[in-house]
Chain A
């Protein structure tokens, strides 16, 4: 066993040896006491859990003042303001919780994360999440060039602070829904290569559950094959996200969707799952919501394996082809991956469907096909054959068509049980 990593990496490796899925919430509260209580409750679960501190969105955009005002006026925050709380207070919050048996990851959605990384280093934490594209395009209006610079600097900061820094790319999520899997797979690989170019030795690749189990299984197989090729020699593992788009509103719908994400992750041999909760469609989940969802996911993963749909191999081949095509066409542009990413967006070789960020080309679109799989509607300027798209010149999308696609999963899972 490789025992050279930090808490985060070692925990994943040990669970992998036991063939146990690691489950992790997306949890963050404004105050120190609720944040500690949430972490402690997750640490106390009998399954293999990693703790999460999700930052609030004032901190994400660098507005530490508003976060402080909310703390002082008892206004609720949508996450933990790690910079607005005094450093010593955050140390105290982590004291006795964080350690080899309970690693903690900071999840933050910050395009310019230097201050967050400095905090992380000062607290002795070793794991975080993001990427120059995936924490810029979906999370800010900052020019991509500035996010690339900021992320290069931040990786270096973490690499200098600890030999064991781990970064998970959020490239497998992007806008959370309606993105063909090949783009998610390509983006997470490119960001992992970017991290490596800037001194990070331990990375995770991400993938968000989509609209078809067969397609998702195929895509995860493709992702693992490509990761083995491109990241040879580095520590890597794959993290799956329970569905990141519009969530079912019924208890049974939400639970079945979380259940499926756990079966998928386990069947595809992936190491970690970020678990959503039944509160997702409505509001910030409570600690109890999180505990229920984590427990269910761990139980499902320990149970009977998913019977793999034979159609998944076609999807595997398709994602392998498209993702490799996207990755190669970006890497061809420049040896510095940050520069290559910028040029790729400028030329339309990368394009995130429906993303409003000013640096996104905005030509590529997505459709859901008759089998429930995510497909390119229009491939725009992507380096893919026109035949990968369903409608290279079609009519514009209407609000009700978009609404239907956004609610495809809700409609399926909220159906009454027979």
Chain B
């Protein structure tokens, strides 16, 4: 593989929070990814259609409204039917309480996510995970990739 890796950011259909998506977009671009951010309330069909159209090496699902567990399961089941090997991760605040979110981690992994990132160390753990992915690092990380330039 040549050039930078393509990564897709999505959330679940009921979740309209976007600061998490904006932040992850900038962060992933700084980590050398060519990022496409599908924006808030992402319909499952839009995720599937984009995966068809665009070469993607990593799917990042971020949800904080408390419905990420329920709708994340639905999303990963559909993605896995078409893309059994694509690295897919989910993170954020995935249920309506911290205890419950820790409790559903295993179920999300069993349903097909490669990793689940929750709690205060989520970003650090994600960074470690990225280092385990087989990646061709771009020679130079320039600016923010395809992220819109918020000047």
Which chain A residues have a beta carbon within 8 Å of chain B's beta carbons? Answer: 57-58, 60-61, 63, 66, 70, 75-78, 109, 138-141, 175, 177, 246, 282-284, 354-358, 362, 365, 377-378, 391, 393-399, 402-403, 406
Contact = CB atoms under 8 A, between A and B. Distances in A.
A61 B30 contact: no
Interface in B9-28: 13-16, 18-19, 21-23, 26-27
Contacts of A362: 148, 150
Interface of B: 13-16, 18-19, 21-23, 26-27, 30, 37, 39-42, 65-67, 70-71, 93, 95-98, 100, 143-144, 147-151
B106 to A, nearest CB: 16
With a 10 A CB-CB cut-off, give which of B19, B93, B148 has the most chain A CB atoms: B19
Nearest to B41: A141
A358 B38 CA distance: 10
B151 A396 contact: yes
Contacts of A175: 18-19
A398 B67 contact: no
B16 A402 contact: no
B18 A76 contact: no
Nearest to A403: B23
B26 A78 contact: no
Given A57-B65, A78-B96, A284-B97, A63 B14 contact: yes
B151 A406 contact: no
Q: A-side binding surface: helix, strand, loop or mixed?
A: loop
A355 B19 CA distance: 8
Contacts of A406: 19, 23
Nearest to B12: A57
10 contacts: A60-B16, A75-B70, A109-B16, A282-B93, A284-B97, A354-B19, A378-B150, A393-B151, A397-B150, A399-B30
A58 B67 contact: yes
Nearest to B104: A75
Contacts of A63: 13-14
Nearest to A138: B16
Nearest to B22: A354
A283 B96 CA distance: 6
B57 to A, nearest CB: 20
Given A78-B66, A141-B40, A391 B151 contact: yes
Contact of B150 (A77, A246, A358, A365): A365
Given A76-B100, A283-B93, A354 B150 contact: yes
A282 B15 CA distance: 16
B27 A399 contact: yes
A175 B19 CA distance: 8
A356 B150 contact: no
Contacts of B23: 399, 402-403, 406
A59 to B, nearest CB: 9
Contacts of B144: 396, 398
A399 B98 CA distance: 25
